[in-house]
Amino acid sequence: MKLIYTDSLIIGAGLAGLRVAIATKERGLDTLVLSLIPAKRSHSAAAQGGMQASLGNTVKGMGDNEDIHFQDTVKGSDWGCDQDVARMFAHCAPKAIRELTNWGVPWSRISAGPRDVIMNAKKVTLHEAEEAHGLINARDFGGTKKWRTCYTADGTGHSLLYAVDNQAISMGIPVHERIEALSLIHDGKRCHGVIARCLVTGELRAYVAKSTTIATGGYGKIYEISTNATICEGIGQALALETGVATLGNMEAVQFHPTAIVPAGILTTEGCRGDGGILRDKDGHRFMPDYEPEKKELASRDVVSRRMTEHIRKGKGDDSPYGPHLWLDITILGREHIETNLREVKEICEYFLGIDPCKEWIPVRPTQHYSMGGVRTNATGESPQLKGLFSVGEAACWDMHGFNRLGGNSVAETVVGGMIIGKYVADFCEQNALEIDTALTQKFLDKLQNEIDNLVDGKGTENPFEIKKEMQRIMMNYVGIFRNGPELDKAIAELKALLLRAKNLGLKCKKRHSNPELVEALRVTRMLKVALTVACGAAARTESRGAHSREDYPQRNDKDWLNRTLATWPNDESLEPVLHYEKLDVMKMELPPGYRGYGNDNNIAHPDTEKRTQEINKITAELGNAPDRYALQQALMPYTLPSHLQPANERLSDTLAVIPSQPVGNKSL
């Protein structure tokens, strides 16, 4: 048995994983990262639009602060998030931005003086303050009160990932590439590392560590059409699920992005709409104002995706061989803007569609994009059930996104979460000894070896590629943007049947090293379990919240469903997860549930909401006329952060003599 020991083991070399690796390496801990691919190829690189942080440098961001970012995030989550975590996040986001600047991210900067922007399909001239010249710029994104999304043209994720990976390289953090973690070593209470397979040689290795951090991203590829990379298959979630101990949280919360191109399903950034692009139907009509007169194209992603789907169902979509779609029109932004700030979008249009987006509309439709659910952790990033198991980024349900994530908050979560959780991981490694139980390790390794032997030498006949395709089709058809009881039940029944078939997988290619079919076969069973937790969670949740939208239960039901779904997988023979629920305590919320600002306000209120609102009013009144916002926040919902992350964030508006006037057309909320 090949054993490799380390203090801090991280699975996944995207932004979140690397940021944790840096945090533990900084503390002198032996750190090791496993990755399916070279670190710089991670899916973080595909994030185009930007990262939210309340810097408030641009005139349209003036007056922004942690409070407003926090409120936007909670509303965006449809009150499904953990408000402590959302607070920790909003406070540290500006710090992460500034740290990244010191690591080499260039960020697009502000030029003082007038600049023309497109707002609500009209040209508006903004005047940037002299003092803001050269500071980090921000663009508008959906569901935000201020312009808060910092960006590097439309390659934000790319420039961040390169800076963070470069930093990791400079610190000598080893990344074991083309290694796939396939099971966690654990004793039911503590996680001791992973059993992993080398995708080149096929060798099985045990990586034994004090802490194991899952940072493997989302599970978008359980859907047929997704903006996700081919590697986002939910194997990280499956690792935790298969322990039977650790839980997955809110797996049914799956986000659909409004504007992925048809048919390839490749993302065009929300920055297109943030910068002034609009959506049109087959008649060329701009339809979003009909549905959301206030926020129009820049409503929250879940809302825009649903409105688009509704509009297509009314027969207003343009037909194509791949089904109906709508149009994204960025021609109004002008060639210069597109060629500097939306270059990736332009390239994608040219290569995959053969069109020039400066002149032609882009065919788009809502497409699976993000997984709000994931490995459930507490605020320190650790699994509440399995000591030593941490998770961060999209892989985790740290839970700052609840049931819908705001655009620009995912990139932000990776680096902010990595920064905070990395500190807690390092603490854990310092406070705990490495426990090496070779018998236990051997047991897990033998189990995986057995699984591989059965696949290669067994008599199975099922084709892993076919089963995967079938699963993706089921998820697409029955667990999509709009969901209902009968379809979800159908999905569960079919997925279970597939899981049974998957026990009889057989391979045509019998190689034990570099065998893509074996890789697929090992993954598909795990993906099916993840898909089942999504489908079962969705079937059980008889309400609509954020991205989880039930046609048969269209109301948000705080009375019965203000909670977090937790899923465990009982044992190897089970065909479905066991669901339990974790209540969200309204009495501890800084922002009690309320109207989100879209459609009808027809929520079923939680009995404590009224009580908590009065309590908040009382606390606020006690603090006097114009209470200090930090003191008020502390009084309403105290939260903890590592001490080095506690200082307040400096902003331009702290020192600016004259706050520039807001131009007309400012968003009201």
Partner 1 sequence: MSRKITFNIFRYDPQDSQDKPKMERYELTETDGMTVFIALNQLREQQDTSLQFDFVCRAGICGSCAMVINGFPTLACRTLTANYPDGEITLMPLPGFELIGDLSVNTGKFMRELAERLKLWLHPKPDDQDMHRLENPMAPEEAARIYELERCVECGVCVSACATKQMRDTFVGAVGMMKIARFEMDSRDNRSADDFYHVIGNQDGVFGCMTLLGCQDNCPKDLPHMQQIAYLRRKMASTIL
Partner 2 sequence: MSEKTRVPTAINGGPFGQAWSARADCLQSLTGALLGAFLLVHMHFEASILLGKETFYRFVQVLEGGMFSATGHGWPLVTQIFSVFILVIVVVHAALALRRFPVQLGQWRALRGFMSNIKHKDTRAWYWQMITGFILFFLVSAHLATMILDPEIGPHLSADRVYNGHAWILYVVFLPVVLVHGLIGLYRVILKWGVSNNRSLIRTIAQVLMIYLLCLGSLSLITYISIGSELTLPVQPFIPK
Of the pair 264, 637, the CB lying nearest partner 1 is at 264
98 binds partner 1 (CB under 8 A): yes
Q: How far is the CB of 562 from partner 1 (least distance, A)?
A: 35
**Token pair in block for residue 593:** 């549930």
19 binds partner 1 (CB under 8 A): no
352 binds partner 1 (CB under 8 A): yes
Q: Which amino acid is at 314?
A: K
Of the pair 134, 486, the CB lying nearest partner 1 is at 134
Contact string 423-462 vs partner 1 (x = CB under 8 A): ----------------------------------------
Of the pair 179, 362, the CB lying nearest partner 2 is at 179
Partner whose binding site includes residue 98, from partner 2, partner 1, none (CB under 5 to 8 Å by kind) = partner 1
Binders in 22-61 for partner 1, by CB under 8 A: 37-43, 45-46
Partner whose binding site includes residue 347, from partner 1, partner 2, none (CB under 5 to 8 Å by kind) = partner 1
514 binds partner 1 (CB under 8 A): yes
Residue partners of 342: CB distance under 8 A and separation at least 6? 153, 154, 269, 271, 272, 275, 330, 333, 357
Binders in 258-287 for partner 1, by CB under 8 A: 263-264, 266-267
Spatial distance between the Cα atoms of 262 and 49, rounded to a whole number of angstroms: 19
Binders in 223-252 for partner 1, by CB under 8 A: 229-231
Q: How far is CA 495 from CA 228, 387, 500, 541, 575, in A?
A: 21, 31, 9, 18, 9
Q: How far is CA 188 from CA 244, 249, 429, 435, 576, in A?
A: 8, 19, 19, 14, 20
Q: How far is the CB of 315 from partner 2 (least distance, A)?
A: 49
Decide if 43 is catalytic: no
Of the pair 42, 549, the CB lying nearest partner 1 is at 42
Of the pair 655, 668, the CB lying nearest partner 1 is at 655
**In the set 178, 280, 286, 501, which binds partner 1 (CB under 8 A)?**
178
Spatial distance between the Cα atoms of 659 and 321, rounded to a whole number of angstroms: 53
Of the pair 4, 656, the CB lying nearest partner 2 is at 4
Of the pair 27, 178, the CB lying nearest partner 2 is at 178
Partner whose binding site includes residue 108, from partner 2, partner 1, none (CB under 5 to 8 Å by kind) = partner 1
Q: How far is the CB of 415 from partner 2 (least distance, A)?
A: 22
Of the pair 172, 293, the CB lying nearest partner 2 is at 172
523 binds partner 1 (CB under 8 A): no
351 binds partner 1 (CB under 8 A): yes
Q: How far is the CB of 285 from partner 2 (least distance, A)?
A: 44
Q: Among the options 186, 273, 376, 651, which is catalytic?
A: 273
Binders in 113-172 for partner 1, by CB under 8 A: 133-137, 152-153, 155, 158-159, 162-163, 166-167, 169-170
Q: How far is the CB of 278 from partner 2 (least distance, A)?
A: 38
**Token pair in block for residue 440:** 């236990």
Residue partners of 106: CB distance under 8 A and separation at least 6? 152, 159
Q: Which amino acid is at 175?
A: V
Contact string 643-662 vs partner 1 (x = CB under 8 A): ----xxxxxx--x-------
Phi first, then psi, for residue 121 (nearest 5°) are 65, 15
Of the pair 621, 648, the CB lying nearest partner 1 is at 648
Q: Among the options 158, 197, 257, 523, which is catalytic?
A: 257
Q: How far is the CB of 198 from partner 2 (least distance, A)?
A: 8
Determine contact, residues 10/215, Cβ cutoff 8 Å. yes
Q: How far is the CB of 168 from partner 2 (least distance, A)?
A: 11
Of the pair 41, 273, the CB lying nearest partner 2 is at 41
211 binds partner 1 (CB under 8 A): no
- CA 256 and chain centroid, separation: 11
Spatial distance between the Cα atoms of 123 and 641, rounded to a whole number of angstroms: 43
Strand spans (E) along 187-331: 191-198, 204-214, 248-249, 254-261, 278-280, 326-329
Task: Determine the interface stretch with partner 1 among 2-10, 348-356, 420-428, 526-534 (rule: CB under 8 A).
Answer: 348-356
Residues that bind partner 2 (CB under 8 A): 38, 172, 174-179
Spatial distance between the Cα atoms of 397 and 177, rounded to a whole number of angstroms: 25
**Token pair in block for residue 233:** 């298959």
Strand order through the sheet with 578-583: 396-397, 374-376, 248-249, 563-568, 578-583
629 binds partner 1 (CB under 8 A): no
Q: Which of 375, 376, 386 is nearest to 188 (CA)?
A: 386
Partner whose binding site includes residue 167, from partner 2, partner 1, none (CB under 5 to 8 Å by kind) = partner 1
Q: Which of 139, 160, 142 is nearest to 333 (CA)?
A: 139
Binders in 303-332 for partner 1, by CB under 8 A: 321
Decide if 548 is catalytic: no
Q: How far is the CB of 175 from partner 2 (least distance, A)?
A: 5
Binders in 493-512 for partner 1, by CB under 8 A: 507-509, 511
Partner whose binding site includes residue 179, from partner 2, partner 1, none (CB under 5 to 8 Å by kind) = partner 2
Cis amide leading into 384 (omega within 30): no
**Token pair in block for residue 188:** 């039911």
Q: Which helix (H) or strand (E) holds 642?
A: none
Q: Find the DSSP H helices in 432-484.
A: 438-457, 464-478
| DSSP conformation class of 131 | G
416 binds partner 1 (CB under 8 A): no
Interior angle at CA 393, CA 47 and CA 208, nearest 5: 125
Spatial distance between the Cα atoms of 150 and 156, rounded to a whole number of angstroms: 8
Binders in 57-96 for partner 1, by CB under 8 A: 94-96
Partner whose binding site includes residue 516, from partner 2, partner 1, none (CB under 5 to 8 Å by kind) = partner 1
Partner whose binding site includes residue 176, from partner 2, partner 1, none (CB under 5 to 8 Å by kind) = partner 2
Q: How far is the CB of 171 from partner 2 (least distance, A)?
A: 13
DSSP assignments along 355-370, one per residue: --TTTSPEEEEEEEEE
Q: How far is the CB of 17 from partner 2 (least distance, A)?
A: 15
Q: Which residues of 557-588 are buried (b: 16+ CB within 10 A; e: fewer)?
A: bbeebbebbbbbbeeeeebbbebeebebebee
**In the set 2, 109, 189, 473, which binds partner 1 (CB under 8 A)?**
109
Residue partners of 440: CB distance under 8 A and separation at least 6? 185, 187, 192
Q: How far is the CB of 5 from partner 1 (least distance, A)?
A: 22
Determine contact, residues 347/355, Cβ cutoff 8 Å. no
Of the pair 13, 46, the CB lying nearest partner 2 is at 13
Determine contact, residues 318/363, Cβ cutoff 8 Å. yes
Q: How far is the CB of 156 from partner 2 (least distance, A)?
A: 25
Catalytic residue numbers read 257, 273
